[in-house]
Structure 1
Amino acid sequence: MGKDIENFGVVIRRIWHRNEWFYSVVDVVGVLADSGNPRQYWSNLKKRIKDEGFNEAMTQLEPLRLKSTDGKLRETDCASRETVLRLIQSIPSPKAEPFKLWLAKVGNERYSELEYPELALKRVRDNYRRKGYSDEWIEQRVRADMVRNELTDEWKFRGAQGTQFAILTDLINDGTFEMTVQVHKNYKALPERANLRDHMSPIELALISLGEATAVTLHRDRDSMGFNALKQDTEEAGQAAGEARKTIEKKLGRPAVSRENYLRQPENPERRQLSFFDEDEGK
């Protein structure tokens, strides 16, 4: 989950990683150092920290992919709140104390969401609303995500591992739409890292949810364990959703799968950006 925060007059990028927020160090430096070239300042600071023998903080940095000003994802030095607090000590700045308070605030917001899931749902709805999605579409998307989460929990419990999640996901999508996830994205002319479900129509969301809910039911009814059993259930669930799609298409007189994506076809004039990457890399 990634997020951009406007604070202290600049954007501070952050991403939810390993159960805590990680912050772009260059952005933090840009706030505290008031430097015209934060990247160069950070490069010099890294060398100074190393020369002074304080390497522990440096080992805690992680290169994570964040969205750059050109819209592309690039590896960026990121640090947890604890590591950022250590780095702050190396940057003389009158903004240090307010920045520490801000770190505490955003951390507490996330932990509150973990304790009270309804806060997370509100955040999701608010972010989609800001991007111009209709309330009807948002509710459909939220319900679809809840079904998806329930299914992945079942897969974990029943022994799916690693790339098996992607294989099972493809089976349901292919059975439902006669398209793998990648083909479906290509059909909609989406960028590689776009979230397919953020560009599905309400009918597409309903159909994929039907397939996934059917898979959950089959897994539980059969007490399926292990990849092969899950694969069989998933194929059958996709086929069932595919039959429903064909019935709907006969009634509509047109394909249920739309080429439209919300990059090119906004629901209202206020839509500016439609990738959900900035908030949540949904499933």
Structure 2
Amino acid sequence: MDIKLFESKRIRSEWSETEQKWYFSVQDVVAILTDSTDVKQYIKKMLSRDEQLKSNWGTTCTLVEMLAADGKKRKIQASDTKGLLRIIQSVPSTKAEPFKLWLAQVGSDRLDEIENPELAQARMRDIYRAKGYSEGWIDKRVRGIAVRDELTGEWKNHGVKEGIEYSILTAEISKATFGVTPSEHKNFKGLEKQNLRDHMSDLELIFSMLGEASTTEIIKAQNPIGLMENKKVAKRGGDIAGIARKELEQTTGKKVVNTGNYLGLKEKKKLK
């Protein structure tokens, strides 16, 4: 799943490789266009006003797995660009025209990124800069994403299923690296729906990369197949990072896992 920003507001999205197009969360789009506090009720009223849209709702929208409000992946109503343009016709909003232009740009950007992946990294860096992150932190975060992508690519090639099995292996690496699972790590930092890695310190990012990069190299060397074999490898990869973390903590007297987060980053940036 990807997150797109329109006027600094988040829109959940999913790129379909088979269809070569984006699917966007209908609820997120309607919420932005209307500023409604009850989006589901607004959509019901919208459909009652537009019988044609209501009759074609099953083809305008489809169920796509994305991150739900409770932090779990669920199938939610989503629509492609054509479907969203039809929905916009039934939403009286001054943001309609800017949103149409945004949709066109998102589609164009994706095609550009397929041809030149460096553009995707550049846009990602711009988003983090806008939020107020330091250049050094951004460098580590972007590198960490590349390390993670290589690891998941190896998992996919070695019989690990996306979704729950990726989560199980990630938790295994995290426990060995930090002594806590990702959910425990989030709780320690006071996070809820936020992406944990967007709130890691430089050292937390570095040790995350070490654990995942080590796991990737062991996979390449030992060729484990399936969840159970890869689970053992994930622990070994995490152990390598965990040993390094403990040695650093013993030397400095400071814990790597900390309560710090970047929840107030935007506000701090505004005050400068």
TM-score (norm 1): 0.75
Query: In the comparison of the two structures, how many residue pairs are matched?
Result: 254
- Offset at residue 26 of structure 1 (A): 2.5
* 8 Å Cα contact 1:171-1:235 kept in structure 2: yes
Q: Which residue of 2 aligns with 1:270?
A: 269
Q: Which residue of 2 aligns with 1:243?
A: 243
Which amino acid is 2:13 matched to? W
Measured in 2, the distance between the counterparts of 1:254 and 1:212 equals: 23
Structure 2 matches for 1:167-186, cutoff 5 A? 167-186=168-187
Closer/same/farther in 2, CA of residues 123 and 232 from structure 1, 3 Å limit: same
Closer/same/farther in 2, CA of residues 271 and 66 from structure 1, 3 Å limit: farther
- Offset at residue 109 of structure 1 (A): 1.7
Structure 2 counterpart of 1:15, from 12, 22, 29 = 12
Q: Which residue of 1 aligns with 2:122?
A: 122
Secondary structure in 2 matching 1:256:
coil
1:93-147 CA-partner distances (Å, limit 9, x unpaired)? 9998886555323321222123211111011111111111110011011111111
Measured in 2, the distance between the counterparts of 1:132 and 1:194 equals: 16
Closer/same/farther in 2, CA of residues 226 and 41 from structure 1, 3 Å limit: closer
Which amino acid is 2:30 matched to? V
1:54-82 CA-partner distances (Å, limit 9, x unpaired)? 62244432577788xxxxxxx98653211
Measured in 2, the distance between the counterparts of 1:268 and 1:234 equals: 38
* 8 Å Cα contact 2:144-2:209 kept in structure 1: yes
Which amino acid is 1:174 matched to? K
Measured in 2, the distance between the counterparts of 1:197 and 1:206 equals: 11
* 8 Å Cα contact 1:12-1:27 kept in structure 2: no
* 8 Å Cα contact 1:224-1:230 kept in structure 2: yes
Closer/same/farther in 2, CA of residues 40 and 130 from structure 1, 3 Å limit: same
Closer/same/farther in 2, CA of residues 187 and 101 from structure 1, 3 Å limit: closer
Q: Which has more radius of gyration?
A: 1
Secondary structure in 1 matching 2:268:
coil
1:2-49 CA-partner distances (Å, limit 9, x unpaired)? 22313xxxx886332243042545358659xxxxx9988754441244
Measured in 2, the distance between the counterparts of 1:128 and 1:227 equals: 34
* 8 Å Cα contact 2:186-2:196 kept in structure 1: yes
Closer/same/farther in 2, CA of residues 242 and 268 from structure 1, 3 Å limit: farther
Closer/same/farther in 2, CA of residues 40 and 29 from structure 1, 3 Å limit: farther
Task: For structure 1, list consecutive stretches of 5 or more residues without a partner in the other structure.
Answer: 32-36, 68-74, 273-283
Measured in 2, the distance between the counterparts of 1:232 and 1:152 equals: 16
Moved more, 165-174 or 37-46: 37-46
Closer/same/farther in 2, CA of residues 62 and 240 from structure 1, 3 Å limit: same
Closer/same/farther in 2, CA of residues 255 and 57 from structure 1, 3 Å limit: same
Structure 2 matches for 1:41-190, cutoff 5 A? 43-50=44-51, 52=52, 55-62=55-62, 78-87=78-87, 100=100, 102-161=102-161, 162-190=163-191
* 8 Å Cα contact 2:34-2:93 kept in structure 1: no
The percentage of aligned residue pairs carrying the same residue is 39
Q: Which has the higher helix share?
A: 2
1:208-266 CA-partner distances (Å, limit 9, x unpaired)? 111111100100001111112111111111111111011111221221222211225x4
TM-score (norm 2): 0.78
Closer/same/farther in 2, CA of residues 103 and 183 from structure 1, 3 Å limit: closer
Measured in 2, the distance between the counterparts of 1:29 and 1:145 equals: 31
Secondary structure in 2 matching 1:255:
coil
Measured in 1, the distance between the counterparts of 2:164 and 2:40 equals: 36
